[in-house]
Amino acid sequence: MDSNDFRKAMRHCAGAVALVTVGREEGRRTGLTVTAVCSLSDDPPSLLVCVNRKASANPRIREERCFGVSFLAEEHMPLALTFSGQKGFDGENRFGFGRWSTRVTGAPVLEEAIVSFDCELRQEFETRTHSVFVGDVRDAGMRGAASPLLYLNGAFHGVHAIRDAVSLGDLEARKLGWSIFS
């Protein structure tokens, strides 16, 4: 399959936006915006993170053997743009925005994130363009209710535009929804 066609197809798949960050020492921190993060297992608790091999964070994750993952809320769109390189900031300069802290491993995490994970690198796999990092979660922080930031069709979006969400437990809504198919 042609890579351009693949990218066009993947743009139709909404992804949660997160920051992957690394650097125990202030002045040596770096990070990037990603959508390729998912839970791998709960035994042990672990995440799978894909990072472009050209990203400055890639060799640093190997060097420090730890990283943070901070899932962003809708109001963090400027941070997503900053860490994606679209605002002209790189490395430590990206951390001039938001409130940052550390947990068990010392990797930076965003304090206001919807949820953040502090991970210790357990394993890595190389592909042609990306490294796939498996991180054992050493700690997590949760902010609570917030609208997550999504990446869809080449842009960042909030979920606030989705109206009349239906709960799986809402029997009347299920009947109404299934009546469309009958």
The count of domains in the chain is 1
Are the beta carbons of 11 and 24 closer than 8 angstroms?
no
Per-residue pLDDT of the chain (182 residues; tens, 9 = 90+): 998 999 889 888 889 999 999 999 989 999 999 999 999 999 999 999 999 999 999 999 999 999 999 999 999 999 999 999 888 889 999 999 999 999 999 999 999 999 999 999 999 999 999 999 999 999 999 987 889 999 988 888 888 654 444 455 555 555 555 555 54
Find the domain containing 22 and state its range.
Answer: 3-179
- Beta-bridge mates of residue 21: 31, 68
Strands (E), 35-167: 37-42, 45-52, 66-71, 100-102, 108-110, 115-126, 130-142, 149-152, 155-158
| Domain CATH number, residue 17 | 2.30.110.10
Amino acid identity at 105: T
The pTM score is 0.86
User: CA 142, 47, 60 angle in degrees (round to 5)?
Assistant: 100
**pLDDT for position 11:** 86
